[in-house]
Structure 1
Amino acid sequence: MLDKELQLIDKYTNHYKTVNLKVSESSVGWHLDHSLKVINLVNDTIKKSKESEFKKEFSGLSLLTFTFGFFPRGKARSPKRVLPPEVILKEDIENQLKIAKEHLKSFEALDDNQFFTHPLFKQLNKRQTQKFLKLHTNHHLKIIKEILR
């Protein structure tokens, strides 16, 4: 599912301390750690969900985001549970990457209406969650590429 993105995360891990304040106040490591925390938390959540409890709701925000395929920078704030720690260690990023790879191996086996509830986008079923994870991860990878220029 996110094979290409996880390969890039692995590639950028060596640059985890790099900062470019013209692009972001946060380091490459912050963006990597945050992206992996989101992937892992969402996967933990969707696996525990019950397909029978999924309620399809319209969200104009998710329609716009998913249609245009990007997140505007600096508009949303991350929940505390997916914020990186003050001190980011390369080993922590590497461990989270291993967990993410394991999570994603079993993602396809999920039922179509197992879901993840996003604070702004509401309940996202398996297909929508997959798209969200791809968009979110690519959003941060794009920032990382700009930091490293």
Structure 2
Amino acid sequence: MKNSLESLVDDVATYIPGYTFSNDQISKVDIGWHIEHILLTINGVISSLAQSNPTNFSSQFSLLKNIVLLTNRIPRGKGRVPKVVKPQVAYTEDSLEQHIMATKEKISQLELISEDHFFEHPYFGNMKKRPTVHFLEIHTKHHIKIIREIVAAIK
């Protein structure tokens, strides 16, 4: 049975054929950028989770984190994309498809990571596995919504 994050990645994959579509009134970047950013984020965060040392975890309060995790929504245009998850290379339909497959493999590795591992979010601070996965779902849905708006504006 697929988990929610894997299902979201499947949804993202359906937009690859229109990866060059864009609409400056909705987003300054094209659909391919959003897809690549989603995949870079998921892969990077899961790698960071896996590499974390649970004994180094320290809880940190973040009002923004609490708002995002409780409302299941990221305010549009408020965050800045960290360089590590900002697409830097030219992507193609083939490279995006390959990245989708690599991301699905990375998601499958989540089962091997304990609940005590954590991710250090640049704005939210340290988050254990469960809230981190929840954040990845919210983040992915946020970008899918933008992609859908771009597609709708074309039709």
Equivalent residue, structure 1, for 2:75: 72
| Distance in 2 between residues matched to 1:63 and 1:140, nearest whole Å | 20
Q: Could you say what the CA RMSD is over the residues aligned between the two structures, in angstroms?
A: 1.1
Question: How many aligned residue pairs are there?
Answer: 149
Q: Could you say what secondary structure the match of 2:15 adopts? A: helix
Q: Which of residues 6, 17, 20 in structure 2 aligns to 1:17?
A: 20
* Residues 7-16 or 88-97, more deviating: 88-97
Q: Which of residues 124, 130, 133 in structure 2 aligns to 1:127?
A: 130
TM-score by length of 2: 0.92
Please say if 1:143 is aligned against 2:119: no
Instruction: Name structure 1 gaps, 5 residues minimum.
Output: none
Which residue identity lines up with residue 137 of structure 1 in the other structure?
T
Q: Could you say what secondary structure the match of 1:57 adopts? A: coil
| Distance in 2 between residues matched to 1:111 and 1:60, nearest whole Å | 26
| Distance in 2 between residues matched to 1:144 and 1:87, nearest whole Å | 18
Please say if 1:111 is aligned against 2:114: yes
Equivalent residue, structure 1, for 2:49: 46
Superposition misfits of 4+ residues, deviation over 4 angstroms: none
Which residue identity lines up with residue 10 of structure 2 in the other structure?
Q
Instruction: Name structure 2 gaps, 5 residues minimum.
Output: none
What is the identity percentage for the equivalent residue pairs of Structure 1 and Structure 2? 34
| Distance in 2 between residues matched to 1:7 and 1:102, nearest whole Å | 12
Please say if 1:101 is aligned against 2:104: yes
Q: Could you say what secondary structure the match of 2:78 adopts? A: coil
Q: Could you say what secondary structure the match of 1:123 adopts? A: strand
Partner deviation per Cα, 1:51-104 (whole Å, 9 max, x = no partner): 111111111110011111111111111111111125322222112211110111
